[in-house]
Amino acid sequence: MNNRFWRIESRPKGNDFASALALVEEPLGELAQGEIRIRNAMLSMDAGTRMWLTSREDGYQPPLPTGAPMTGLVVGEVIASRADGFAEGDLVRAFGVWGEVSQVDAVMSGAVKLDPSVADRRAWFGPLGMNGWTALWGIEQTGAAKPSERVLVSAAAGATGVLAVQIAKLLGCEAWGIAGGAEKCRYLTGELGLDGAIDYKAGDVGAQLDAAGGFDVYFDNVGGALLDSVLTRMNHYGRIAVCGLLADYGGNARTTPREFDQILMRRLRVEGFFSPDFMDQGERLTARLRGWHEAGELTMPYDVTRGLENTLTAYEKLFTGGNIGKVIVELER
C-alpha cells in the first residue's frame, strides 16, 4: 500500500514552505506490534509546529529531521490495527503525518478513540481537542483568572485564542482580545460579544491598551514586541500565561522583553505551559468543554482547505493572518 505525504526536504526560510517540503509517494511498511494505520480524514494546522521545522535544539521538543514526514494532529478512521484497544473502523485522533495515511505507534502518537456521535467532527481539533484543552487550562489554571477580573488574549482570532476569550467570559471575566485587522476585531466584539478588541494593525497599540485600562491576566500567544506593550499595562499581581511565541517561529528572533523590570515592579507572575503538561487531564477537560460546546456557548469558526496538495497554502495562513479560527485540511475521498 502506497502513501502520499509531505516530506521535509530542508529548513524553510520565513514562510517559504513550498521550497522546503515536497509531496511524495512511498510504500508503507508492515504494521508492527502496537501500531495502527489511520486513513486520515482531516489534518490540523497548528502554528506551534513551525518550530519543529527549525534547527533549534532548545525547544519543547527536538526538531523534526530533514527527510522525515511532516508531523501534526490528524483525525481519521483506523483501517488496520495491531494495538490493543483499537479496532478497524474506530474514529481516532493522533499525532500522525501530513498524508493520506498515518501509520503510528498507538501509545507514542497519543492516539485516542473519539465519540462518533459528535455531529461536527472538526470539533475534535477545536473546542474538544488540544486547542480547547490549552485555552481552558491557560485561562483557569495557569492564568488563574477569577470572576470580574480583566483578561486579555493575543492572537484572539486564532484557534486557541478564540476559545480562550470565550472561556474567560464563561468564567465571569471581562474579556478582551488582540487581533490584526478590523474584520477580526469586529468578529470578536460582534459575534463573540467581547468587551473590547485591540487592533494591532490600526496604529499605536500602546495607546489602544491605555484606553482599555489595566489587565489582570494576559494569555499570550505571540510574544515579541507585543509582550512589551502589555507588560506596562498589567495590573499589580497580574498573571501572564505564555501559550505561544508566534513572533519567534519564522526566523532567528527571540522574545527578549525590554520591559522585563515590570515583572518586579508590578509583582507579576509569568508562566509558560504546554499541552503535554496536562495530557492526563484530557478526558476531564473534554467533558467540560463539550458541555459548553453542545449548549452553544463555545463556538469555533473553521477555515477549511480541501485536498492534500493544498496543505501548504492552508499552513501559511497561520503566519500571514489569513484565517479566523481553526485551520483544517480536509482530505478528499
Comparing C-alpha atoms, which of 184, 187, 216 is closest to residue 200?
A: 184
Q: What is the pLDDT of residue 56?
A: 83
Q: What's the pLDDT at 25?
A: 98
Those residues of the chain that have pLDDT short of 70 are 251, 333
Nearest to 290 by CA among 163, 177, 189: 163
DSSP SS3 for 202: coil
Assess contact for 240 and 220: CB atoms under 8 A: yes
**Residue that has been written with the C-alpha cell 515583572 in this structure:** 263
Q: What is the DSSP string of 167-221?
A: HHHHTT-EEEEEESSHHHHHIIIIIS--SEEEETTSS-HHHHHHHH--EEEEEES
Alpha helices, H only, 100-189 = 130-137, 161-170, 182-186
In contact, 153 and 168? CB cutoff 8 Å: yes
> pLDDT (tens digit, 9 = 90+) per residue, 58-78?
777 789 999 999 999 999 999
3-state secondary structure of 115: coil
